[in-house]
């Protein structure tokens, strides 16, 4: 496959990312999967190699290049190696949370946070979802009441990726509970603030090396200097960043699908039945051909979307299209690739079993397939 | 549950099949479609009526009678056989009107209309659909019959209506004061104009029926004013159950012929049927086909027994059969390769039949809406 998306710098960066995955991620994946979380040191190791905060200006310790293609390369390398769970924290840190800081931090906040974000000393998370609200952000009930220079935060968030490891949590709160969208603001909550408690590391179907947690806020006093941007602008800020978040998930989806396809191909070439490799049976051959075609088609669309994001022209609806299509593809390819493995595919020692379980949430998080279709449908005027 | 057909039913089916095969093989259906105005010769329909095609849903007092005691099940056998040979003829329309009259007609109405329908000298059709409206459900009918003293005046368009041009009697579903009301209208009534439409099914005719100030009296009412909702629902169930039977027959026949073709046709030195990918496709299709027969049988039985759940079962069947019969036939086209898209091959006649039945009296989507509504959604 030839892709026109990348130039030489990106390919050099890919080499670094690939070495990082081989040296710092893969050797620990089994342990992290059983512990339900990656070592915090993983972020520092990534930071040291320049794999965090590529878009952060150089004076703050970052790469100084705001080019989502670098994020894409790192995201792909993690997922092409099957590190869906172990890599997710890094991808979330770079692709999904950092943009809020870059876009809305004032000078003081930049000095305070960006160096740690680039070095991996400060791990990021974003807290939007609450129990029972899903994508209906306007219905959130976490409140932040201002008293002088301090906000007092009360409420709870759930399904928070990096929930245990995170040091800075960009948290959506209601600063004006009487208003719907316009009452939402973004506050940065920091590790160690009194009343900021973490719940369980949630037990999930897949993504076991990824810490996903509930967060509880009981009269947490947050200084007003931790507001991101202007009070009341939270909903606009969240919506503004969603296309990149969704495209990032789409990029992961295609790379993860490619990983599953590779597993299936290897298996079908090596395993024989009735005297011939199973890949030579017409059914497996057609199926593999179909999956390979679907992956290539999805890759072409995602690459175009990445180009558009870099050029600043990616629309919310095209990001939504990429998100639902590529994650549904990931699920389909994982499912069929597992089927081709027969009984072995169901054994957890075979990587396809883990890839299958990891795939399931991707059509849900970052906005479900159904929400994506709502967005696309509305853009069509229907 | 009794899935077995009685000996009488088997004999009836066999008689119907033999008659259709000898008088109207597909080659004849093609010829008729080009040279016969109605798509069939009138005498052929009369001979079919003699075999019982038009009397199964009519009470014995009116000259009707069933083979097995369940006239709808008997009639479904005829519909299935007609599907097998993409036969022409207003089987569904004539029977649904005959059944409605037999159930709700006055003595005068029954005496005026039923002998002709049962004997095959005349045919009838049901005017339910209206251009631009859903084909079934509460929104289907908007035609208002305006009161004028004790008379009613109809102005509007009904369509597409099957067999409208050859029908002697039209059963028109309209609204009086916003409530469903049905009228039995002689086709010769002043103000009734039939405007033929080009239908996709070559063997059968459809048309719009224009009603321009058609004035009717109380003697034209079928049942009471404003009280036809249950009648209309019953008629819909009967038609849809029979549509499913007809589609089932059509798709079964073409599936069988496609399997035969796969054994006859060689490529790369082997019969098509020996390729694994095609075996799997045939297995998938066979599965859908069996389910088509099963859901159709369930719907026919339930409607025949006037069960409360008939409304749901008939919509389940229409939704499933309408969707999957088309999928199977499209795959039959693909498996035939180039020959499958020629005019000379019969495949397109079957595809046309199924596509038309899928759309008339509610698409699969509209029937899924009915199911959802029935569940309170």
Q: Testing the interface with A: which of B273, B275, B276 to mutate, by most A Cβ within 10 A?
A: B276
- Look at B5 and A295; give whichever has higher pLDDT: A295
Q: Does A346 touch chain B (CB under 8 A)?
A: no
ipTM (interface pTM): 0.74
Total of domains in chain B = 3
CA torsion sign, A233 to A237 to A238 to A239? positive
Q: Are residues B112 and B138 in the same domain?
A: no
Chain B residues near residue A284 by CB distance under 8 angstroms: none
Q: Testing the interface with A: which of B271, B277, B278 to mutate, by most A Cβ within 10 A?
A: B277
Last residue of a domain, one of B121, B156, B186: B121
> Taking residues B273-302, what's their average pLDDT?
96
Q: Cα Rg for chain A, rounded, in angstroms?
A: 21
| Bridge pairing between strands B206-216 and B151-162 | antiparallel
Q: Which residue of A has its CA nearest to B276?
A: A282
In sequence order, which residues have a C-beta less than 8 Å from that of residue A17 and are 6 or more positions away? A51, A73, A74, A77, A78
Residue A171 burial (CB < 10 Å; 0-12/13-18/19+)? buried
> Taking residues B330-347, what's their average pLDDT?
94
What pLDDT, on a 0 to 100 scale, did the predictor assign at position B238?
Answer: 98
Sorted by where each starts, the structural domains of chain A and their CATH numbers stand as 8-122 (1.10.540.10), 125-231 (2.40.110.10), 236-379 (1.20.140.10)
Q: Are residues B18 and B109 in the same domain?
A: yes
The CA distance from A343 to the nearest CA of chain B, in Å, is 20
Look-up of token digits 């992956």: A295
What pLDDT, on a 0 to 100 scale, did the predictor assign at position B4?
Answer: 79
Q: Are residues B254 and B346 in the same domain?
A: yes
Indicate the range of B99-103, B116-120, B237-241, B340-344 predicted with least confidence: B340-344
Confidence of residue B72 (pLDDT cuts 50, 70, 90): very high
Alpha helices by DSSP H, A183-281: 234-270
Asked if B93 contacts B124 with a C-beta cutoff of 8 angstroms, the reply is yes
Q: At A65, list the tokens.
A: 């290049």
Q: Which residue of B has its CA nearest to A280?
A: B276
Q: Are residues B210 and B234 in the same domain?
A: no
Asked if residue B172 belongs to a domain, the reply is yes
Residue B130 burial (CB < 10 Å; 0-12/13-18/19+)? buried
Q: Which residue of A has its CA nearest to B279?
A: A283
Asked if B130 contacts B141 with a C-beta cutoff of 8 angstroms, the reply is yes
Q: Which residue of A has its CA nearest to B280?
A: A283
In sequence order, which residues have a C-beta less than 8 Å from that of residue B223 and are 6 or more positions away? B104, B181, B182, B231
Report how far residue A310's alpha carbon sits from residue A72's, in angstroms, rounded to the nearest whole number.
11
Active centre residues of A (catalytic): 245
Look-up of token digits 């059963």: B171
* CB–CB contact B280 A281 (8 Å): no
What's the distance, CA B338 to chain centroid? 31
Asked if residue B367 belongs to a domain, the reply is yes
Asked if residue B1 belongs to a domain, the reply is no
pLDDT at A26 over 90: yes
Q: Are residues B285 and B217 in the same domain?
A: no
pLDDT at B32 over 90: yes
What pLDDT, on a 0 to 100 scale, did the predictor assign at position B136?
Answer: 85
Inter-chain contacts counted by CB atoms under 8 A, chains A and B? 8
pLDDT digits (tens, 9 = 90+) for B134-166: 988 888 999 999 999 999 999 999 999 999 999
Chain A residues near residue B275 by CB distance under 8 angstroms: 282
Q: Are residues B66 and B113 in the same domain?
A: yes
pLDDT digits (tens, 9 = 90+) for A289-313: 999 999 999 999 999 999 999 999 9
pTM for this prediction: 0.86
Structural domain harbouring B153: 125-222
> Taking residues A219-238, what's their average pLDDT?
96
Residue A339 burial (CB < 10 Å; 0-12/13-18/19+)? middle
What's the distance, CA B93 to chain centroid? 6
pLDDT digits (tens, 9 = 90+) for B244-281: 999 999 999 999 999 999 999 998 899 999 999 999 99
Asked if residue B2 belongs to a domain, the reply is no
Last residue of a domain, one of B91, B121, B151: B121
Asked if residue B157 belongs to a domain, the reply is yes
Q: What is the CATH number of the domain that holds B206?
A: 2.40.110.10
Q: Are residues B343 and B260 in the same domain?
A: yes
pLDDT digits (tens, 9 = 90+) for A147-158: 999 999 999 999
pLDDT digits (tens, 9 = 90+) for A82-128: 999 999 999 999 999 999 999 999 999 999 999 999 999 999 999 99
Q: Are residues B255 and B141 in the same domain?
A: no
Q: Are residues B89 and B156 in the same domain?
A: no
B-contacting residues in A 264-323 (Cβ below 8 Å) = 281-283, 286
pLDDT at B1 over 60: no
pLDDT digits (tens, 9 = 90+) for A164-183: 999 999 999 999 989 888 99
* CB–CB contact B280 A283 (8 Å): yes
What pLDDT, on a 0 to 100 scale, did the predictor assign at position B3?
Answer: 64
What pLDDT, on a 0 to 100 scale, did the predictor assign at position A136?
Answer: 85
Last residue of a domain, one of B121, B149, B172: B121
The average confidence (pLDDT) of chain B is: 96
Q: Are residues B275 and B369 in the same domain?
A: yes
Q: Are residues B238 and B370 in the same domain?
A: yes
Residue of B363, B248, B371 lying closest to B315 (CA atoms): B371
Q: What is the CATH number of the domain that holds B36?
A: 1.10.540.10
Rounded to 5°, the CA angle A301-A306-A307 comes to 95
Q: Are residues B114 and B134 in the same domain?
A: no
Report how far residue A48's alpha carbon sits from residue A67's, in angstroms, rounded to the nearest whole number.
19
């Amino acid at each position: 496959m030839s892709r026109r998306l990348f130039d030489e710098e990106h390919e050099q960066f890919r080499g670094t990312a690939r070495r990082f995955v081989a040296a710092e991620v893969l050797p620990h994946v089994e342990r992290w999967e059983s512990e339900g979380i990656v070592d915090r040191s993983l972020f520092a190791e990534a930071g040291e190699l320049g794999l965090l905060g590529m878009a952060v200006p150089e004076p703050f310790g970052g790469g100084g290049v705001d080019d989502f293609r670098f994020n894409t390369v790192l995201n792909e390398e993690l997922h092409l190696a099957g590190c869906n769970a172990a890599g997710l924290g890094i991808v979330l840190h770079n692709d999904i949370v950092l943009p809020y800081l870059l876009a809305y931090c004032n000078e003081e906040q930049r000095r305070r946070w960006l160096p740690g974000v680039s070095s991996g000393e400060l791990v990021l998370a974003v807290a939007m979802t609450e129990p029972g609200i899903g994508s209906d952000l306007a219905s959130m009930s976490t409140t932040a009441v201002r008293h002088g220079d301090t906000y007092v935060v009360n409420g709870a968030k759930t399904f928070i990726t990096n929930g245990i490891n995170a040091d800075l949590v960009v948290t959506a709160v209601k600063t004006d509970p009487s208003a719907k969208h316009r009452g939402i603001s973004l506050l940065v909550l920091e590790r160690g603030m009194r009343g900021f408690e973490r719940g369980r590391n949630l037990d999930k179907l897949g993504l076991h090396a990824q810490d996903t947690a509930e967060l509880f806020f009981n009269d947490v006093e947050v200084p007003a200097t931790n507001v991101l941007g202007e009070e009341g602008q939270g909903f606009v800020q969240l919506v503004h960043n969603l296309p990149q978040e969704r495209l990032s998930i789409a990029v992961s989806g295609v790379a993860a699908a490619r990983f599953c396809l590779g597993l299936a191909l290897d298996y079908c070439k090596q395993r024989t039945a009735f005297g011939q490799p199973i890949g030579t049976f017409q059914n497996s051959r057609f199926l593999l051909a179909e999956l390979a075609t679907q992956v290539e088609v999805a890759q072409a669309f995602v690459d175009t979307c990445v180009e558009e994001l870099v050029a600043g022209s990616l629309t919310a609806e095209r990001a939504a299209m990429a998100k639902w299509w590529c994650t549904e593809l990931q699920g389909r390819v994982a499912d069929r690739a597992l089927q081709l493995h027969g009984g072995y595919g169901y054994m957890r020692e075979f990587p396809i079993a883990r890839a299958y379980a990891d795939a399931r949430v991707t059509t849900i998080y970052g906005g479900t397939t159904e929400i994506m279709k709502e967005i696309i449908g509305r853009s069509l005027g229907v | 549950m009794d899935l077995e057909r009685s000996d009488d039913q088997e004999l009836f089916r066999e008689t119907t099949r033999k008659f259709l095969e000898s008088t109207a093989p597909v080659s004849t259906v093609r010829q008729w479609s080009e040279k016969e105005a109605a798509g069939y010769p009138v005498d052929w329909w009369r001979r079919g009526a003699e075999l019982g095609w038009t009397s199964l849903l009519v009470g014995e007092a009116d000259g009707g009678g069933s083979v097995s005691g369940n006239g709808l099940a008997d009639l479904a056998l005829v519909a299935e056989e007609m599907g097998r040979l993409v036969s022409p003829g207003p089987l569904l329309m004539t029977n649904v009107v005959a059944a409605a009259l037999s159930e709700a007609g006055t003595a005068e109405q029954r005496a005026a209309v039923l002998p002709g329908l049962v004997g095959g000298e005349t045919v009838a059709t049901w005017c339910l659909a209206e251009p631009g409206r859903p084909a079934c459900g509460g929104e289907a009918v908007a035609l208002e019959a305006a009161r004028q003293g004790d008379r009613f005046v109809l102005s509007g368009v009904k369509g597409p209506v099957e067999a409208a041009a050859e029908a002697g009697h039209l059963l028109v579903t309209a609204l009086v004061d916003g409530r469903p009301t049905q009228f039995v209208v002689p086709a010769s009534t002043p103000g009734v104009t039939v405007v033929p439409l080009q239908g996709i099914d070559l063997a059968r005719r459809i048309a719009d029926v224009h009603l321009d100030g058609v004035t009717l009296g109380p003697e034209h009412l079928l049942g009471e004013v404003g009280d036809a909702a249950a009648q209309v629902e019953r008629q819909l169930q009967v038609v849809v159950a029979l549509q499913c039977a007809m589609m089932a027959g059509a798709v079964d026949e073409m599936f069988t012929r496609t399997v035969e073709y796969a054994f006859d046709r060689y490529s790369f030195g082997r019969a098509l049927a020996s390729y694994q990918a095609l075996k799997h496709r045939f297995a998938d299709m066979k599965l859908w086909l069996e389910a088509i027969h099963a859901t159709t049988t369930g719907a026919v039985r339930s409607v025949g027994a006037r069960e409360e759940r008939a409304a749901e079962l008939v919509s389940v069947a229409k939704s499933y059969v309408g969707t999957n019969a088309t999928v199977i036939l499209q795959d039959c086209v693909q498996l035939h390769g180039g020959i499958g898209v020629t005019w000379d091959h019969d495949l397109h006649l079957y595809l046309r039949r199924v596509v038309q039945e899928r759309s008339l009296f509610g698409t699969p989507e509209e029937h899924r809406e009915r199911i959802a509504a029935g569940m309170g959604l």
